Amino acid sequence: MAATVAEATALRRQAVSSAILAGVVLAAFAAAYASDLLGRDAEPTVTIGGPFALTTHSGATLSDTDLRGKPSAVFFGFTHCPEVCPTTLWELSEALKALGPEADRLQMLLISVDPERGTPEFLARYLESSDPRIVGLTGTQAELKAVGRTYRAYWEKIPTGNGDYAMNHTASIFLMDAKGAFAGHHRPRGEGRGQAGEAEASDRGRLGMTFRRLDTRNTLAGNASDHRSRAGCATRPDKTAGWSAGHRNLAGRLPASKGETSMLKKVMIAVAGVGMAVTPAFAHVTLEKGEAALGSTYKAVFRVPHGCEGAPTNVVRVRIPEGVISVKPMPKAGWTLEKVKGKYEKTYDYYGTPTSEGVKEIIWKGGNLADDEYDEFVLRSTLAGDFKVGEMLYFPVVQECPDGKAERWIEVPAAGQTSDDLEQPAPGIKILEKTGGH
Domain presence at residue 209: yes
Does 156 share its domain with 215?
Answer: yes
Please count the structural domains in the chain: 2
Domain presence at residue 83: yes
Does 296 share its domain with 260?
Answer: no
Q: Report the share of the chain in percent with pLDDT over 70.
A: 66
* DSSP symbol at 157: E
Does 258 share its domain with 381?
Answer: no
Q: Which residue has the higher pLDDT, 261 or 78?
A: 78
Does 201 share its domain with 119?
Answer: yes
Q: Can you name the residues that pair with 328 across neighbouring β-strands?
A: 380
Please tell me the distance from the alpha carbon of residue 219 to that of residue 95, in angstroms, as a whole number.
19
Which pTM was predicted?
Answer: 0.46
- In the Cβ-directed half-sphere of 243, how many Cα atoms lie within 13 Å? 26
Q: Worst-scoring range by mean pLDDT, 235-249, 271-285, 384-398, 415-429?
A: 235-249
* pLDDT value of position 419: 84
- Using the 3D structure, point to which of 278, 294, 312 is the last residue of a domain: 278
Q: What does each C-alpha distance from 159 to 130, 145, 286 come to in angstroms?
A: 28, 19, 27
* pLDDT value of position 254: 36
* pLDDT value of position 48: 85
Does 203 share its domain with 294?
Answer: no
Q: Find the CATH number of the domain harbouring 400.
A: 2.60.40.2230
Domain presence at residue 437: no
- Using the 3D structure, point to which of 278, 296, 313 is the last residue of a domain: 278
Find the mean pLDDT for residues 283-297.
Answer: 91
* pLDDT value of position 153: 87
Does 227 share its domain with 366?
Answer: no
pLDDT of 112 > 50? The answer is yes
Find the mean pLDDT for residues 369-377.
Answer: 91
* pLDDT value of position 176: 85
Binned at pLDDT 50, 70 and 90, residue 359 comes out as very high
Find the mean pLDDT for residues 411-437.
Answer: 85
Does 25 share its domain with 147?
Answer: yes
pLDDT of 313 > 60? The answer is yes
Does 265 share its domain with 321?
Answer: no
Find the mean pLDDT for residues 263-290.
Answer: 52
What tens digit of pLDDT does each residue of 375-384 get?
Answer: 999 999 999 9
Binned at pLDDT 50, 70 and 90, residue 436 comes out as low
The residues, any chain, with a CB within 8 Å of residue 283's CB and separated by 6 or more, are 305, 306
Q: What does each C-alpha distance from 3 to 10, 90, 396 come to in angstroms?
A: 11, 18, 28
Q: Can you name the residues that pair with 313 across neighbouring β-strands?
A: 369
What tens digit of pLDDT does each residue of 170-222 get?
Answer: 888 888 888 888 877 676 654 333 444 443 443 333 333 333 333 333 343 33
Find the mean pLDDT for residues 104-124.
Answer: 92
- Using the 3D structure, point to which of 251, 278, 305 is the last residue of a domain: 278
Domain presence at residue 96: yes
* pLDDT value of position 274: 37
Domain carrying residue 398: 286-432
Does 204 share its domain with 60?
Answer: yes
Q: Find the CATH number of the domain harbouring 223.
A: 3.40.30.10
Dihedral, CA of residue 349, residue 350, residue 355 and residue 359, to nearest 10: -130
* pLDDT value of position 120: 95
